[in-house]
Structure 1
């Protein structure tokens, strides 16, 4: 195998994190290729609702927090789009979600090392210790093989639907990630039920509430959570999304990590204050003159089962505190049941090489490397698959550039990007 055929790194998946890695690699001599099975960059296309914003400031673009001088920054995107003064007068830190997606597409279009419509089928190791990456390319699914010293997995998380509901999925029962593509099916019905407690559930409920007068459906929202609570967004609370807290969390004993994550749910699973306010204000306006809109909101209530009738669905619900059960009928159900990390199928060829913990999750080292049973000079890195080892910051866009910088410094075997030890005012631990 000729040395010129061996890349320095191959990226699997092109979401915001591997997109940022690819952009930041432009300052290095590393030879790289990135693959994604999608035909183009799309960031949660099913939830690109008008009026929705990122839940992090615009500085959480794919490069700025590691390299504010990068030509791939959001501010340079605005400059190139002739929108810099528009943004200046916009005076907001939180940008429209649709614009963030367009910004990422703009970055992707400038990086020829990104290859879309290419599915990574398998990864294994050669006798020399390099990674052999098998790719099915294009609509013809032509098989190609590439070799690299290192691999970065950035496939992100996948929509989660509890197993007991999966047989019911279709055009009128679906995960929130498909909302925009299936919304028209829902608007034609007489009753719609939203299940979930997070931002996606709230945004879908508000969108349906806004459209309710034109379609006249019954609209219900149930969550098993204790209430329709806001996400923790105080300035000191936000310091948990920092390299400092990540270092602290990583060093906690394994048994402490899960309990810490459970206690921090509202750092990343709640609803924004603005969305809650928008919902309440619209409900208030709709009830002027003691008008009673066809709306039902209820917390502490879990969806236990879905049964299909002639044309409607029968939903069995359980209220936890009262230990009471009830049944309602609904024409459509939207499951905003979140996303789960997963080990992609392409790593099956590495099952005997990578270390997994007792729950079947990959063992991730502090420097974002997957722990291998026989460590060598070549590594597999993970982006946004280390919530269980690194804490709440793993999926946070604001930490993506920092993690990419940490990975690139290892790929290049020298400091390309500075990563600072102290970034917050508070101290975590003793």
Structure 2
């Protein structure tokens, strides 16, 4: 199958791109394919907990910051589904996570030109060489199909971070947050599981809270390296660093300045809890102590230094980094709120290796820098924090980033079609 543009992953990044293509470049949109490995378009399926809120304003949807008149806006989704009055009456800028998931699915179903094919998993991608020039990309799917394209957009997200200590533990005993809901649904609800929750951020806190309801007889323990749980560090001043307009400033900064900004912004998004979750979690612990059940336990300032399986349980070694004291915790189930690997995703690294790139860099417009002749182009979405700022992996910049990529593709296509200059006679 040959298309002009192939996008890998039907998540928010590539859905924003699809909308931008339909509105800005319909000729390309009609020759665009998005492949998605899951059976349907979904978002954070493993963590669509009933009361989980988004941390981003509904105005930072797929399109509003680029085209506030678009029919693909979150507000139009609410109107189309008959829920606009109720949302307005709630008086909140942040929708529930399950609402955002519904909006993304509605958007995918509302596209009229871009083709989305689910149950299509990409096994590997290789450049297409014509002599010594890259002229396209060849994506090999797990079902044996092959898709060739001139433009490639990888927006499948980062790889889940599994700490090395748990890499060899049987999969049925370790659940990353991305798989939580479907995996926990297969477990018996009447057993007194010992559950170890790893992490100190929003995902870990949500796992710790949710498992108390989903496995009513369980006894969860939360382990973290930090001295305790903290709220996100946020203010209206900090939030300006999540503006699409700040990307230019960040990209133009010196590498050491970028690293300092990312370090100082870490607690605005990582290793922190939303205030509502913090309040709820502390009340859970307070009531547990008040009742005398001692069902819940939080262990701060400990490193997980080893883990092994013994029979039907996992033995986890915890080291107190204050004293060096070591203890072993025996558990039936490990829940990982450990987020995602900071490395480039495996798929991106494999593409870079196939081209022969020494390092992975992108332009301001998210195009992979290919230091050899190429009439093809590859774009990376959601993995460029180091050059484009902390908002790059979040929902905040979906619409302006899609605009940048589409504009760059249009410029690139125009350059390819431009006639070669005629040499002057003489």
Per the normalisation by structure 2, the TM-score is: 0.86
SS of aligned partner of 2:67 = coil
Q: Cα offset for 1:196?
A: 0.4
SS of aligned partner of 2:69 = coil
Q: Cα offset for 1:89?
A: 1.2
Q: Cα offset for 1:406?
A: 0.7
Asked whether the equivalents of residues 159 and 346 of structure 2 are also in contact (C-alpha less than 8 Å), the reply is no
- Counterpart CA distance in 1 for 2:395 and 2:364 is 19
Asked whether the equivalents of residues 384 and 395 of structure 1 are also in contact (C-alpha less than 8 Å), the reply is yes
Asked whether the equivalents of residues 161 and 339 of structure 2 are also in contact (C-alpha less than 8 Å), the reply is yes
Q: Aligned residue for 1:338?
A: 339
Taking a change above 3 Å as real, the CA distance of residues 293 and 9 of structure 1, as seen in their structure-2 partners, is same
- Counterpart CA distance in 2 for 1:26 and 1:402 is 15
Q: Aligned residue for 2:367?
A: 369
- Counterpart CA distance in 2 for 1:209 and 1:56 is 26
Mapping 1:309-328, distance limit 5 Å = 309-328=310-329
Taking a change above 3 Å as real, the CA distance of residues 165 and 63 of structure 1, as seen in their structure-2 partners, is same
Mapping 1:190-339, distance limit 5 Å = 190-210=193-213, 214-215=216-217, 217-269=218-270, 270-288=272-290, 291-339=292-340
- Counterpart CA distance in 2 for 1:110 and 1:123 is 31
- Counterpart CA distance in 2 for 1:316 and 1:302 is 8
Equivalent residues, number: 399
SS of aligned partner of 2:405 = helix
Q: Cα offset for 1:275?
A: 0.3
Q: Aligned residue for 1:82?
A: 82
- Counterpart CA distance in 1 for 2:385 and 2:286 is 39
Asked whether the equivalents of residues 353 and 373 of structure 1 are also in contact (C-alpha less than 8 Å), the reply is no
Unaligned runs of 5+ in 2: 413-426
Select the residue among 3, 6, 11 that pairs with 1:10. Answer: 6
Unaligned runs of 5+ in 1: 415-430
Alignment RMSD (CA, Å): 2.4
Stretch of structure 1 that moved more, 115-124 or 395-404 = 115-124
Asked whether the equivalents of residues 355 and 370 of structure 1 are also in contact (C-alpha less than 8 Å), the reply is no
Per the normalisation by structure 1, the TM-score is: 0.86
Stretch of structure 1 that moved more, 255-264 or 164-173 = 255-264
Q: Aligned residue for 1:94?
A: 94
SS of aligned partner of 1:412 = helix
Q: Deviations over 1:120-164 (max 9, x none)?
A: 332313426431323438xxx24233232x221111112110223
- Counterpart CA distance in 1 for 2:181 and 2:92 is 26
